[in-house]
Amino acid sequence: MKTVTVKVPSGQYEVKIGAGLLPSLGNEVRTSTNAKRCAVIAGENVFPLYGEASLKSLRSAGLEAVSLVFPAGEQTKCLGRYGELLEFLAENRLTRSDCVIALGGGVTGDLSGFAAATYQRGVAYIQVPTTLLAAVDSSVGGKTAIDLPQGKNQAGAFYQPALVLCDTDTLATLPERELRAGFAEVIKYAVLFDPALFAALRDKTVDLPSVIETCVKHKAAIVAEDERDTGLRRLLNLGHSFGHAVESRSHYALLHGEAVAIGTVMICRAARSRGLLSREDCAAVIALLEAYGLPVETEYTAAELFDTLLIDKKFSGGKLHLIVPRRIGHCDIVAVTPGELRFWLEEGLR
Ligand code: NAD
Ligand code: GLY
């Protein structure tokens, strides 16, 4: 097992990564929280695979455990499901010292984390990521959210988990398309911080547990510097500003990771066209995303994406922070006005 410690101003917790960790969930809850009762929250695809094992482990450790199962998919990250979850916690009399377990991908983690942040003004929660995307990104760092009809992640909280328990065996049942989408976030870390990871991904000389550990270390370092996303943490939005717009426009027909891949290509093309990124590095990023089966083009126009971006939550103080690759392993944060953004979008689609 590999352990990465996340140290943030609001506290400290461990990310445990390894095969066969799920049966230790109950003991881990006992060690990392004061819970007597736990609510396991999972999607309809994940619960039949890992729900019973989770409940069994919790009960064997002497904890009471209840479960709630949601439909799979981004549409579950909504006000209605959030309300349902809060009511479920109340009906099952979870107290402030009890614990929510988010068993699943980023959708379950974001929704359950937001409910945990707000139920009785905050109860402990544990992330048990079962997708690659959740393992390398969404389960770590305490961003929780639901979507509103007006846009993605428009209501949420910064609220750190008490523990992240990543059993890499669970990734074996992940559909191929979801695994590929997770690699978009892995490639993000490589472009942001890590030429060695980039080369290893290109040469396919990596194993999943090590990739996850490497990405989590990068994320832990950034989150330690900037827990609330006012500075350096913005870097983690590489590919996300344009990606969110593409994702929203597709009404979530595109997976989050697929949209991030398209957004990454767009910002690389725009950076190349401005002479900020070399032609070779731009081509290398696109080739790597393609090698992992990710989409690199979109049918949406710059005007369509611009309209969607205007509601992006990262558009604050009249400026949007774009994350601009300068070379593999280094990106800059560039604040742009709406007028400038139009040009970046147009260049990104050329
Ligand atoms: P997801 O949670 O929708 O899971 C993907 C699909 O795989 C679902 O159908 C799910 O049921 C299924 N699944 C999950 N684990 C499985 C397994 N082990 N075996 C079989 N099927 C499994 O998608 P995701 O890509 O994990 O997460 C995307 C979400 O994460 C988006 O809402 C995005 O906004 C959010 N996100 C949040 C952060 C953050 O920092 N909080 C970061 C990145 C992404
Ligand atoms: N996924 C971006 C962040 O956690 O900041």
- Mean pLDDT taken over the chain: 96
pLDDT at 318: 86
166 and 48 within one domain: yes
pLDDT at 286: 98
Q: Name the 3-class secondary structure at 15.
A: strand
Q: Where are the alpha helices (DSSP H) in the chain?
A: 25-32, 52-60, 79-91, 106-118, 132-133, 176-193, 195-203, 208-225, 240-249, 256-273, 279-291, 302-309, 338-348
15 and 137 within one domain: yes
> DSSP state, 96?
T
Quick check: CB of 247 below 6 Å from ligand 1? Answer: no
Closest CA to 211 of 133, 105, 128, 130: 133
For residue 218, being part of any structural domain is answered with: no
271 and 169 within one domain: no
Whether 214 shows a pLDDT value over 70: the answer reads: yes
196 and 165 within one domain: no
Residue nearest to atom 44 of ligand 1 (CA): 138
- Number of domains within the chain: 2
Give this prediction's pTM: 0.96
* Contact predicate 63/37, CB 8 Å: yes
Q: Identify which of 136, 160, 219 to mutate to test ligand 2's pocket (most ligand atoms within 8 A of the CB).
A: 219
For residue 10, being part of any structural domain is answered with: yes
**pLDDT digits over 9-30, tens only?**
999 999 999 999 999 999 999 9
Cα 247 to ligand 1 centre (Å): 14
pLDDT band at residue 115 under the 50/70/90 scheme: very high
Residue 7: phi, psi to the nearest 5?
A: -115, 115
Quick check: CB of 218 below 6 Å from ligand 2? Answer: no
Q: Which domain holds residue 114?
A: 2-173
Quick check: CB of 104 below 6 Å from ligand 1? Answer: yes
186 and 116 within one domain: no
9 and 157 within one domain: yes
The CATH number assigned to the domain holding 140 equals 3.40.50.1970
Quick check: CB of 143 below 6 Å from ligand 2? Answer: yes
184 and 163 within one domain: no
For residue 18, being part of any structural domain is answered with: yes
Instruction: Measure Cα distances from 125 to 30, 83, 98, 306 in Å.
Output: 12, 17, 9, 36
**Shortest-distance ligand to the CA of residue 143:** 1
For residue 221, being part of any structural domain is answered with: no
Instruction: Measure Cα distances from 181 to 13, 31, 92, 285, 290 in Å.
Output: 27, 33, 35, 15, 11
236 and 273 within one domain: yes
Cα 64 to ligand 2 centre (Å): 32
